[in-house]
Chain A
């Protein structure tokens, strides 16, 4: 079976300092994977490399397609959803406009956009109450939920969640984890890649844990 995501000897340097060194791993379709490691280990750089925001040497494939040949702005339309570490919502728009914008940009049909919006609301019911709120006015935890909802609009194959639990109050972290479980129960085919500093937060949820240290994958364990 073709892996959903495959890294082949990927190297990334930032300001001449190596951040990823010969990173190779693959994720089968439908798995939930955690990429764990300390701060600065290379987790966010791995996520950003998939999205095309770094200058990488090596090959990154999505469902067999070489992403190096796909411009960064064309990658989301391949089914790639990305919720960055610091949520990065567009404050000029409401919560719902933030969630819908990727669909509008991708020119999805209105009924398909509505279907995906309902999917986001079914995974994250609390977003429905926030729908009309300006995105700039939501709390940090709510913002993480909105970022996940936005990533779900185009993320039909691979969802990358960069440090989603960082800075969340315990109750919100629990709600976020419940949302991920709902997503998993509703969609068994989507592949999840979640970066996290604290491996214990994800150990009951994920199928695979990749441990990254100083830019190298040190361990891969299946649960």
Chain B
């Protein structure tokens, strides 16, 4: 591989990693705080994508620039409504009971949402690329990229990473989440409403999944099954990093994104295999993931 191809692979990898990070970090945040592996996370991603595309197609005739607020609005609506309903009515009755029940209930939510998605948006592919077309293209070594993919997506991922870090380390709400993550009972004993923390955290995690879907929507055709693909991939990233590790998830998303991009250039037939092969290799050596720790629950 020459240096030109290497640079192109890096650009592809960063763009892909940015989207994967947004979805995986939501999954990891929810697990870090609630100790729930949210299988419905993939559906939240798909719902975010479909609602963003629907809103974009509606507002684009008025002004194409309105498609950007539409992407954000779709993320917040899906995160708050779907995330809120899942946490409040499906997960909350199961806290303190067998972990398998939580896994099963989120799997059930995933199945229901998958069918709802087909009922609402049908099975025909939907494409809403207006946000992508608004930003100028960038040409690198004769290859044209949209700045949406190589600048905007990585910028949003970085802003999310540093925003989450700031929120958790520097604000009272973040401190409260960290306290509940570490010890729910001790947190309650100092006046923290752990149930509310779970609710808010789940909505934040769900909104991140929906944001990933919304930002992906201009770059791809929306088809049934996209949620299933994403939950498997984001779980691989989160598990490779160590569930509950935010910074680790960012680095792992980058590692998987770059490895996948290089494999596409060198041996494209192995593309699908890369994230899972990396996960298996890492977990064989470090069962808690690259950045996982036994002692303290982290987010």
Residues of A within 8 A of B (CB): 51-53, 71-77, 82, 84, 88-93, 97, 101-102, 104-106, 136, 150, 153-154
Say yes or no: B185 contacts A104, CB within 8 Å: no
Q: Which residues of B contact A74 (CB under 8 A)?
A: 191
Say yes or no: A105 contacts B192, CB within 8 Å: yes
Tell me the residues in window 189-216 of chain B with beta carbons closer than 8 Å to chain A beta carbons: 189-194
Q: Which residues of B contact A102 (CB under 8 A)?
A: 190-191
Q: Does B253 contact A (CB under 8 A)?
A: no
Q: Which residues of A contact B178 (CB under 8 A)?
A: 90, 92-93
Taking A91-B296, A93-B175, A136-B296 as contacts, is the C-beta distance between A101 and B190 under 8 angstroms? yes
Say yes or no: B185 contacts A105, CB within 8 Å: no
Taking A53-B185, A53-B188 as contacts, is the C-beta distance between A73 and B175 under 8 angstroms? no
Q: Which residues of B contact A72 (CB under 8 A)?
A: 188-189
Considering the complex, give the chain A residue whose CB is closest to the CB of B183.
A88
Name the distance in Å between A79's Cβ and chain B's nearest Cβ. Answer: 11
Taking A91-B296, A101-B175 as contacts, is the C-beta distance between A76 and B182 under 8 angstroms? no
- Rounded to whole angstroms, the CA-CA distance of A74 and B191 in the bound complex is 6
Say yes or no: A73 contacts B182, CB within 8 Å: no
Q: Which residues of A contact B194 (CB under 8 A)?
A: 73
Name the distance in Å between B104's Cβ and chain A's nearest Cβ. Answer: 23
Name the distance in Å between A180's Cβ and chain B's nearest Cβ. Answer: 19
Say yes or no: A82 contacts B189, CB within 8 Å: yes
Q: Which residues of A contact B188 (CB under 8 A)?
A: 51-53, 72-73
- Summarize B's interface: helix, strand, loop or mixed: helix
Q: Does B20 contact A (CB under 8 A)?
A: no
Say yes or no: A76 contacts B190, CB within 8 Å: yes
Taking A90-B179, A92-B178, A93-B175 as contacts, is the C-beta distance between A105 and B186 under 8 angstroms? no
Instruction: Give the A-B contact count at a CB cut-off of 8 A.
Output: 63
Taking A92-B178, A92-B182 as contacts, is the C-beta distance between A150 and B296 under 8 angstroms? no
Q: Does B176 contact A (CB under 8 A)?
A: yes
Q: Does B172 contact A (CB under 8 A)?
A: yes
- Rounded to whole angstroms, the CA-CA distance of A187 and B193 in the bound complex is 29
Say yes or no: B189 contacts A51, CB within 8 Å: yes
Q: Which residues of A contact B191 (CB under 8 A)?
A: 73-77, 102, 105-106, 154
Q: Which residues of A contact B185 (CB under 8 A)?
A: 53, 84, 88
Say yes or no: B296 contacts A101, CB within 8 Å: no
Q: Which residues of A contact B193 (CB under 8 A)?
A: 71, 73
Q: Which residues of B contact A75 (CB under 8 A)?
A: 191
Say yes or no: A76 contacts B183, CB within 8 Å: no
Q: Lowest 3 A-B CB distances belong to which pairs? A: A102-B190, A88-B186, A76-B191
Say yes or no: B190 contacts A154, CB within 8 Å: yes
A-B contact pairs, 30 of them (CB 8 A): A51-B189, A52-B188, A53-B185, A53-B188, A53-B189, A71-B193, A72-B188, A73-B188, A73-B192, A73-B193, A74-B191, A76-B189, A76-B190, A77-B191, A84-B189, A88-B186, A90-B179, A90-B186, A90-B187, A92-B175, A92-B182, A92-B296, A93-B179, A97-B175, A101-B179, A101-B190, A102-B191, A105-B176, A150-B190, A154-B191
